[in-house]
Each structure stands twice: as structure tokens, then as C-alpha cells.
Amino acid sequence: MILSGSASQTLAARLADELGESLGATTTKRFPDDELHVTVTEPIDERAIIVASTVSSDAHIELLQLQDAARQAGADEVVTVLPYMGYARQDQTFEPGDIISTRAAARAISTGTDRVLTVTPHEKNVASFFDVPTTVIDGAPRLADPLPADLTDPLFLSTDAAAAPLATSARDAYGAGDSDHLTDATDGERPAPTEETIAGRDVIVVDDIVGTGSTMSGAVAVVADGDAERIFATCVHPVFATGALSKIARVGAESIYGTDTLERVISDVSVASTIADAL
């Protein structure tokens, strides 16, 4: 049975369809003191798969309650799918007294589950913070799904070196073109591809997360100034704070899309089949 967190209902339904599993009935209510209360309203035989993007502190609490409710309803195995894991970027310390919030969140989630799957965390070492077996799933290949079949000499270009494997994954899934990443900006020098040229090519800009849109819009602007033919802005996790979409569109992106790890207006690509394969 699939149980959905409030922030992952579309993906949970798609995953249930992919796996041929039922979508469990749950209720979530909020008390006057702002506490959450989650109920699973039907019995569970064998495995429960909880799909919950922890986009807020409330979503974290809801997930912990769903895990406990699944056990109470009879599940003998609980699998937790984190399409998007909140706090995943707080994975190291910088000042005395800093904590690793990723580790704290992972330990809490581990107490109520037998296994964790998470999609394209910002840092792969996130998996090491869990106390149960954890699988990292690459969502980047799905970014190739909506691309036109007739791209002109396509270049899959990540916003920086850290995201380069995502551009390569998307290129491999598309089955044609080159991949590269932008260099860091230096004094007097704008970012540029390390090897490939841009002019006259269709360029697919790839990143794992788009938050404010500043990094992605900066990359798209570089590509537009390089005389690209068409520009597609893509990401696995479309956080998209207020104004991010228009910021990217203004600098020349023809299409902007992300996956359904987060439910946004541009979540045109589903990772349900990828998660189903991993399960």
C-alpha cells in the first residue's frame, strides 16, 4: 500500500499506478495549538510505502506520524520514499556550534522505517546519515523525457561542476549530444563551458535544485549571450521560490520544467517509474 504525505499526492498516485498497489486512505488534521495529527484509516497487509517530500518542518512531523501509523495499521515493512529531502543541504558545519541538520533529520526518519529511497540529493553523502539501508535514485534521466526529438546538436550543460553528472545522465537518456558544465565566475571572467561551444546549438541547462532561480537564470543568460539556438532550463527539484520562474524566462529560456519530486506548475516530468524500478 502507498501512503502519501500532503506534499506528494500526485507522485504517490503515479507510483501506485506504476506498482499496481493501492493508494491508502489517510487523514491529517491540525489542532488549535498548530500540532498535526495523522491517521491511517484502513488496515495494511505486509508492506507500506510512504511517499513524502519533506518540504517543511510540518512535512517532517507528518512523515514521522505516517511511519508510526503504518506500523499501527499492521505493516510488517515500512519503506520511506523521500522524493525531496528537506535539510539535505545542511550536511556540513562551518562555525563552532553548528550542527549537521541533515544528520538529525535522517536519524529521526530512520527510527520509523526499514528502508529509505531518496531522489537526487544535493550531496550523495546524505545517504550515510541514515541508520537504515538507503538508496539514492538519479532523477536526472527523466529530464530528457519532454525534450523535442529534433534538437539541433544538443548540449546538456550543468550550472556547475557538482551538477555535471546530472547533465551527463540527461544526455545519456536523450541518446544524443554532448555534456559539459559551466566554470565558476572569476574576477573579470563570466562562466563558460569548459570544453564545448554554444553558438547555434540547442542547450539544455541542468541543475539538481532551483530555489530562487538566481543560479539557473545566470546560466541561461550565459547561454543566451553565447548565441544558442534554443534554451531549455531543467531541474530535478523545482523548489521555485516566488519570482524564480519569471527570472529564468526573462533571460531567454524557451521551456522550463522539473520533475514531480515537488508539486509545482512546471512539474512536467514524473520520477514515478524510476522509483518503481528501485523498489
Cα distances from 180 to residues 20, 33, 160, 205, in angstroms, run: 38, 51, 9, 10
State residue 187's pLDDT score.
64
Q: Would you give the DSSP letter of residue 144?
A: G
Q: Is the pLDDT reported for residue 179 higher than 80?
A: yes
> What's phi and psi for 71, nearest 5 deg?
-60, -45
Average pLDDT of span 152-176: 97
Decide: pTM greater than 0.85: yes
The answer to whether position 264 is within a domain reads yes
> 3-state secondary structure string, 19-74?
HCCCECCEEEEECCCCCEEEEECCCCCCEEEEECCCCCHHHHHHHHHHHHHHHHCC
The answer to whether position 102 is within a domain reads yes
The answer to whether position 277 is within a domain reads no
Name the domain boundary from 104, 137, 170. 137
Residues 150 and 103 both lie in one domain: no
Residues 186 and 75 both lie in one domain: no
State residue 172's pLDDT score.
98
Residues 161 and 243 both lie in one domain: yes
State residue 270's pLDDT score.
97
The answer to whether position 88 is within a domain reads yes
Residues 40 and 133 both lie in one domain: yes
State residue 65's pLDDT score.
97
Q: Is the pLDDT reported for residue 132 higher than 90?
A: yes
Domain containing 221 equals 141-269
Mean pLDDT (the chain) is: 94
Q: How many domains does the chain have?
A: 2
Residues 33 and 79 both lie in one domain: yes
Residues 163 and 216 both lie in one domain: yes
Residues 99 and 180 both lie in one domain: no
The answer to whether position 279 is within a domain reads no
List, for residues 233-258, the tens digit of each pLDDT value: 999 999 999 899 999 999 999 999 99
Q: Is the pLDDT reported for residue 56 higher than 70?
A: yes
Residues 133 and 146 both lie in one domain: no
Name the domain boundary from 120, 137, 154. 137
Residues 96 and 174 both lie in one domain: no
Residues 129 and 152 both lie in one domain: no
Residues 48 and 145 both lie in one domain: no
* Residue 158 pLDDT class (50, 70, 90 cuts): very high
The answer to whether position 278 is within a domain reads no
Domain of 227, CATH number, reads: 3.40.50.2020
Q: Is 231 helix (H, G, I), strand (E, B) or coil?
A: strand
The answer to whether position 15 is within a domain reads yes
Q: Is the pLDDT reported for residue 142 higher than 80?
A: yes
The answer to whether position 69 is within a domain reads yes
Name the domain boundary from 115, 137, 159. 137
The Cα 262–Cα 265 span in angstroms is 10
